[in-house]
Amino acid sequence: MTDTETTAHGTALVWFRDDLRVRDNPALRAALAHGPTVALYVLDESSPGIRPLGGAARWWLHHGLEDLASSLEHLGVPLVFRRGPAAAVVPEVAAQARAELVVWNRRYGAPERRADTAVKSLVRAAGREAESFQASLLHEPWEVATQQGNHYKVFTPFWKEVSGRDHRHPLPMPRPQREAPDRVPRGEDLSSWALLPRTPDWSGPLARAWTPGEAAGLEVLKDFVGPDTADSALVEYPEARDLPGRPATSRLSPYLRWGHVSPFQVWHAVADRRRAAPEGSAVFASELGWREFAWHTLYHHPDLATENLRPEFDDYGWWTPGDPSGTGPAGGGIEQLLDAWRTGRTGFPLVDAGQRELWATGWMHNRVRMVSASFLVKNLGVHWRVGEEWFWDTLVDADAASNPFNWQWVAGSGADAAPFFRIFNPRTQGKKFDHDGAYARAWIPELGSTEYPQESVDLAETRAAALDEYRSLGQSEGRRRA
């Protein structure tokens, strides 16, 4: 069937979730091909197990939905906003729209899958068709397995397997629908959801740093991959991507997180640059592979945000707020140290610049995320879950898979994780990756003055304490096995 053709069916309802785009959207395309289409977005904060969004994510979502509503309007598709548990709202809106067909693109977290399964059976029980599509991952997690039939636990063989497969080409922009739906159910006013911060409104720097939405995301992608010549940013990506002071990474993460841009669009845009930047396009594609690997890991380990993937780490003496016994390897004052980490006042410029960048813009460079996370988990001895929750609240790209996956990677407790003894030294990392200090100075105006705090912990002592704790973990493991 071509883009313009529709069968002579009744109304279709397309339910948007983490796929806030009109291009390369299989569910939207199926709805438009079926008949007059109504779109729905449900703010679901009450289905069991659904993780409430953090503050920066709520800000992004508000603007992302405004952008989606405007793109859909150009296609003649009304977007209805409703709040409540999906299993109640979606069947109700489908009934109000008298929809014959309800479609959506798949999600992979356990609570979301449970909600989707409930919606599917309720919609079908009401005599409507329901269909879901693959749109947010290059491969379905259940379709990638080792020869023994298990899921991959190590990235390199995982990526070797999936990067060699074919990835479908992105679907084109749909044509506007010719026939308006008969009934458009009443929706809520987006502003009544209070997704934007009010008292205080801290979103000014976020708005200066980002333009949420599909067109902006595609522009970011286009600028990043550049022309098919040596000028493409991909050429220098393998070296420069580790330098936080250089705009050398794509900054596509929030656009991928919210589905303004699809992994298929990114994959093919990069594949088209293979001639000009063979190494850069391969390294960049493998970063997309880490995103994919994180999601496959979450699919197979639904408790990724709360449970150590390697259970031996359950015995590690990490500190969590409210723990009366714990001080962490840094000694006393752990609450103040945690506060200093959050606000970028630890006395270690690379960590502090990163935490301030995060607070101001909702984003932090990957190298700095790794160093800052390692400092919190290993030098301060704070549980990775505490850092994960802070990032969840402050990142505009806060992602249910990539965030816990990477925190566990840094902590050593995760899939194919960094070995625990790899403890980043923030001073050395600063010299290596921000050697002229430009990144640190950009975020810490008082750097070099007496206003900037002294180093808050002794790196060598805290490192040694963390390693001691880790070694005792090994021994108790050994004892348990003996």
**By CB under 6 A, residue 257 contacts ligand FAD:** yes
| Separation CA 61–CA 260 (nearest Å) | 11
| Separation CA 381–CA 335 (nearest Å) | 11
Least distance from ligand FAD to the Cβ atom of residue 252, Å: 4
**By CB under 6 A, residue 417 contacts ligand FAD:** no
Mapped onto helix, strand or coil, the DSSP state of residue 75 is: coil
Task: Return the range that interacts with ligand FAD (CB under 6 A); candidates 95-103, 135-143, 144-152, 404-412.
Answer: 404-412
**By CB under 6 A, residue 290 contacts ligand FAD:** yes
Out of 103, 373, 376, 440, which residue is the one contacting ligand FAD (CB under 6 A)?
Answer: 373
Per-residue x/- track, 197-236, ligand FAD (CB under 6 A): ----------------------------------------
Least distance from ligand FAD to the Cβ atom of residue 438, Å: 18
**By CB under 6 A, residue 425 contacts ligand FAD:** no
Q: Toward ligand FAD, which CB reaches closer, 267 or 319?
A: 267
**By CB under 6 A, residue 287 contacts ligand FAD:** yes
Least distance from ligand FAD to the Cβ atom of residue 368, Å: 9
Name the DSSP class of 313. Answer: G
Task: Return the range that interacts with ligand FAD (CB under 6 A); candidates 155-163, 284-292, 300-308, 460-468.
Answer: 284-292
**By CB under 6 A, residue 357 contacts ligand FAD:** no
Out of 252, 330, 376, 411, which residue is the one contacting ligand FAD (CB under 6 A)?
Answer: 252
Least distance from ligand FAD to the Cβ atom of residue 389, Å: 11
**By CB under 6 A, residue 19 contacts ligand FAD:** no
- Residues at the contact surface with ligand FAD, assessed by CB under 6 A: 241, 249-253, 256-257, 287-288, 290-291, 294, 366, 369-370, 373, 391, 395, 397-399, 402-403, 406-407, 410
